A and B are shown apart, each in its own frame.
Chain A
Amino acid sequence: MIQIQRLSKEFNNNLVLNELSLNVQTGQTCVIIGRSGCGKSVLLKHIVGLLRPDSGKVLVQGKEVASLKELELVALRAKISMVFQGGALFDSMDITKNVGFGLLEHTRMSQKEILERVEESLSLVGLGGIGNLMPSELSGGMKKRVALARAICIKPEIILYDEPTTGVDPISGDSINELIRSLHDKLQVTSLVVTHDMKSAYHIADKIAMMYKGKIILEGTPEQIRETTDPVVHQFINGLSKGPITEVVDTFK
């Protein structure tokens, strides 16, 4: 379970998160939607403790992330995976080492078991047999899927996905959605997914939360979101350039 309580974060006088609160139950898939640059990636980085809150708290499985000791944080991170927006593959290592990194560093599993697990994770994202390529030899979408394989390889209890389907072709995108669903259905993984793709949001979400101006302005089931009367959310999910959200539209004029 992830509890975010009145979380605020500011970068050089730019208030990105403004007393944001959100709860994700264990086993739930929560999709976060919001404008580009509204602070979705920043929010995810607070959950794994890469950024420290200016005020407010993030509790993961009941523990406050920012106040954990080194060892507790390591233990927590062994249970959380994050798929970075840009993939963040280690470009000095081949794909097998990238995907198996967590297992190689932190478990006593044998080389053979690790290789099997790596191959299994890679085939789950439709990339079996590319283990000995280097990240620089892959396309952008393939890197994204390898990053996803790296995230699921350690069998985490919580996965944070930062735009897992952006830059991926529609067919692979759909299989990523299926993968997220099946992790949810079969393994009760708690997921927090950032996406701009409304179709996939409706497909995978138990709950959708819309972020706007540093807060969650609306959360609800996919049906509730689809039928919302909130003008901001309505404009966003339908992709309209006219409506209450105007900043970018103004700058384009």
Chain B
Amino acid sequence: MFTLFFMDLGRKILSFMYFFGGLASLTAQTVYQTFKPPYKYGHIVEQCRKAGYDSLPIVSVVALFIGFIFALQFGYFMQRIGSEMYIASLVALAIVRELGPVVTALIVAGRVGAANPAELGSMQVTEQIDALETLATNPVKYLVVPRFVALSIMLPLLTLYANIIGILGSYLICVVKLGTTSSMYMNMTFSALFYKDLFTGLFKAWIFGMVIALVSCYEGFNVQGGAVGVGKATMRSVVFSFLMIIAADCFITALFYFIFP
């Protein structure tokens, strides 16, 4: 019973280390191939459209609702202590520093983090990736680099967009429902935010974008066993992206907390 448990644990730890080894190697290759000419702008633009532009509707809806929800939740307490005007500051900080980057990253991890392994995985099982290689084309350069570059550009941009929409949502609630004046709201928002807050948020988004691209492509390349394998890889990609986003978020937040107190 116990030996079985430890054998299973050992196997899990091994496969975990194997995963990180593979991911590290893919990261190194991707970075190398990104800077190595020739550059394929067409593929990057295409991926930017798929990952960024096509995510706009869902990001808009989610960010707007988060703005509503936070204004209402903070409003509940702030009204009790008579400080409604600080809702604007709280919401701005929460969204720009934390919610904007993380929620956007989770949305993109759900969309692109599932689409990439499904697409690359079916290419893998139908030998299209082998065919690319025999046509003297590096699969990392051809398939991973455009996704990697696109996500590392688009995630900060999407985050910026989500920040604006989220603050707009909260503004609507405060101005229409809680009776804050418009100029007051703006004032409290901009006086609470420093460049540092915006920068840490966007920096996180940049890291999350790279994490999603690499994890999803890694899972796609390592599909084994047909359609079932593609399904498994898709699931693993989303789960690992979520985990790594949250872990990276915690790490980066702590890092910035100590670097720029």
A101 to B134, alpha carbons, bound, how many Å?
11
A74 to B123, alpha carbons, bound, how many Å?
21
* Residue B137 at the chain A interface, CB threshold 8 Å: yes
Give the interface centre of A70, A78, A101, A154 by most chain B CB atoms within 10 Å: A101
For residues 58 through 93 of chain A, which have their beta carbon under 8 Å from a beta carbon of chain B? 70, 73-74, 77-78, 80-82, 84-86, 88-92
B130 to A84, Cβ gap below 8 A?
yes
* Residue B136 at the chain A interface, CB threshold 8 Å: yes
Q: How large is the interface on B (under 10, 10 to 19, 20 to 34, 35 or more residues)?
A: 10 to 19
**What's the least CB distance linking A83 to chain B, in Å?**
10
Give the interface centre of A80, A82, A88, A92 by most chain B CB atoms within 10 Å: A88
| Interface of chain B: mostly helix, strand, loop or mixed | helix
Chain B residues whose C-beta falls within 8 Å of the C-beta of A84 in the assembled complex:
127, 130-131
B134 to A86, Cβ gap below 8 A?
no
Chain A residues whose C-beta falls within 8 Å of the C-beta of B128 in the assembled complex:
88-91
Chain A residues whose C-beta falls within 8 Å of the C-beta of B126 in the assembled complex:
86, 88, 91
* Residue B135 at the chain A interface, CB threshold 8 Å: yes
A48 to B137, Cβ gap below 8 A?
no
A139 to B126, alpha carbons, bound, how many Å?
16
* Residue B133 at the chain A interface, CB threshold 8 Å: yes
A73 to B131, alpha carbons, bound, how many Å?
14
B130 to A105, Cβ gap below 8 A?
no
Chain B residues whose C-beta falls within 8 Å of the C-beta of A186 in the assembled complex:
none
* Residue A45 at the chain B interface, CB threshold 8 Å: yes
A45 to B127, alpha carbons, bound, how many Å?
11
B129: nearest chain-A partner, CB-CB: A88
**What's the least CB distance linking A49 to chain B, in Å?**
8
B137: nearest chain-A partner, CB-CB: A105
Chain B residues whose C-beta falls within 8 Å of the C-beta of A81 in the assembled complex:
134
For residues 121 through 157 of chain B, which have their beta carbon under 8 Å from a beta carbon of chain A? 123, 126-128, 130-138
A105: nearest chain-B partner, CB-CB: B137
Chain B residues whose C-beta falls within 8 Å of the C-beta of A70 in the assembled complex:
138
A77 to B135, Cβ gap below 8 A?
yes
Chain B residues whose C-beta falls within 8 Å of the C-beta of A82 in the assembled complex:
131, 134
**What's the least CB distance linking B122 to chain A, in Å?**
8
B136 to A77, Cβ gap below 8 A?
yes
Selected contact of A106 from candidates B119, B127, B133, B136, CB within 8 Å: B136
Known pairs A45-B130, A77-B134, A89-B131; list 7 more (Cβ under 8 Å).
A48-B133, A49-B133, A77-B136, A84-B127, A85-B127, A90-B123, A90-B131
Q: Offer 23 A-B interface pairs, CB within 8 angstroms, sorted by A.
A: A45-B130, A48-B133, A49-B133, A50-B133, A77-B133, A77-B135, A78-B136, A84-B127, A84-B130, A84-B131, A85-B127, A86-B126, A88-B126, A88-B128, A88-B130, A89-B128, A89-B131, A90-B128, A91-B128, A92-B119, A102-B135, A106-B137, A150-B135
Which B residues are closer than 8 A to A by beta carbons? 119, 123, 126-128, 130-138
